[in-house]
Amino acid sequence: MKIFEIREMATEEIKKRILEDQKSLVDLNFQQELKNLTNTAKLHSVKKDIAKMKTILKEREMQEAKNSKAKK
């Protein structure tokens, strides 16, 4: 997933997607331990997507805090 795609998503949608990807990551790790995972690169890409989404959420939180301080 590209960073610009994540930026276009709503905050609630990002949070929902993070939860889904974290569940998927648990399943992928389980499959890898059982030697059933054929595409091991998927683990890395899911981890990176989660990190990107969390970064965007943090940026939005910081921007909201900055805007609320400016209004006071």
Per-residue pLDDT tens digits for 54-64: 999 999 999 99
For 46, 62, 63, 69, the CA distances from 19, given in Å and listed in that order, are: 12, 21, 23, 30
Residue 46 has a pLDDT of 97
Confidence grade of residue 69 (pLDDT, cut at 50, 70, 90): confident
Going from N- to C-terminal start, the domains of the chain cover 3-71
Residue 70 has a pLDDT of 87
Residue 72: pLDDT over 80: no
DSSP 8-class letter at 39:
-
Average pLDDT of every residue of the chain: 95
Q: pTM score, two decimals?
A: 0.90
Under CATH, to which class is 3-71 assigned? mainly alpha
